[in-house]
């Protein structure tokens, strides 16, 4: 496909989609959102890019093979489950650290790390399926 209109809006939309994905990922712990849905948003951004330009450049947009993204995501998720064990708690126990940013208390913890892992796995999975099917069609 070669539509100037789509190409121009795609650039704009993709940056908004990626920002929105980060927003969804971070708010996920206490509000609707989270790693899964954020991953799908990123994958749809990649899909949009593939639609507007071509599949090859969509692949290079990711820099690494989606398979690597899945592996890194799984690794992050597993690692996030381990810290609890060092303090003698069972596997996957959440550890939280309190920060104070401009008077607001911000909590960061291993569940967020786990969500980041989920996010990466979903990005990898969804782009593999999407791009593979798109390649078969084209």
Partner 1 sequence: MEVVLIFLVGGMFSAGFYLLLQRRLAQLIVGLGLLTNATNLLVFTVARLSREGAPLIRTGSDQLPESVSDPTPQALVLTAIVIGFGVLAFFITLAYRAYKQIGSDNLEQMVSTDLLDADDDPDDELQGELQSGAAD
Partner 2 sequence: MSLLIVTPIVAPLLAALAGVAFRERPVVQRLISLAGPLSMLGSGLALLVIVDSDGIQATNLGDWPAPFGIVLVADLFSAFMLLMAGIVSLAALLYSFATLRERNIRFGHYSVVNLMLVGVSGAFLTGDMFNLFVWFELMLIASFVLLALGGGRRRIEGAVKYVAINLLSSAFFLSGAGLLYASTGTLNMADLSVKIAQVDNQGLVTTIAMFFVISFGLKSAAFPMFFWLPASYHTPSIDVTALFSGLLTKVGVYALIRTFTLVFANDVDFTHTLIMVLAGFTMVVGVIGAIAQYDYRRLLSFHIVSQIGYMLMGLSIFTPAAIAGAILFMAHNILVKTSLFLVGGLIAQFSGTESLNRLGDMYRSKPMIAALFAVAALSLAGLPPSSGFISKLALVRAGIEAEAYVITGISLFVSLLTLYSMIKIWNSVFWRPAPQDAAGPVTEKPGGARLALMLSPALLLIGLSVVFGFVAQPVFELATAAAESLIEPSAYVDAVLGETS
Beta carbon nearer to partner 1, 43 or 112: 43
Using the rule CB under 8 A, which residue among 18, 62, 94, 128 binds partner 2?
Answer: 94
Q: With binding defined as CB under 8 A, does residue 83 bind partner 2?
A: no
Beta carbon nearer to partner 1, 48 or 125: 125
Identify which range of 15-23, 74-82, 94-102, 125-133 contacts partner 1 by CB under 8 A. Answer: 125-133
Q: Is the dihedral of CA 108, 103, 33, 67 positive or negative?
A: negative
* First-to-last C-alpha distance (Å) of the chain: 10
Q: What are the helix (H) ranges across 28-109?
A: 35-52, 55-61, 66-81, 83-86
Are the CB atoms for 90 and 11 separated by under 8 Å? no
Site string for partner 1, 3-42 (x = CB under 8 A): ---------------------------------x------
For the CB of residue 30, give the shortest distance to partner 2 in the complex, in Å. 17
Are the CB atoms for 111 and 29 separated by under 8 Å? yes
Token duo for residue 88: 């003698």
Q: Which residues of this chain interact with partner 2, rule CB under 8 A?
A: 67-68, 70-71, 74-75, 78, 81, 84-85, 89-94
């Amino acid at each position: 496909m070669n539509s100037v209109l789509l190409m121009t809006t795609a650039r704009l939309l993709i940056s908004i989609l990626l920002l929105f994905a980060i927003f969804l990922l971070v708010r996920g712990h206490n509000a609707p959102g989270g790693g899964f849905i954020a991953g799908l948003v990123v994958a749809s951004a990649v899909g949009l890019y593939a639609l507007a330009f071509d599949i090859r450049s969509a692949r290079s947009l990711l820099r690494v093979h989606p398979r690597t993204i899945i592996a890194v995501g799984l690794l992050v998720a597993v690692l996030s489950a381990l810290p609890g064990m060092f303090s003698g708690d069972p596997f996957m126990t959440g550890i939280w650290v309190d920060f104070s940013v401009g008077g607001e208390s911000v909590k960061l913890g291993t569940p967020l790390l786990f969500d980041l892992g989920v996010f990466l796995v979903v990005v990898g999975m969804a782009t593999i399926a999407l791009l593979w099917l798109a390649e078969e069609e084209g």
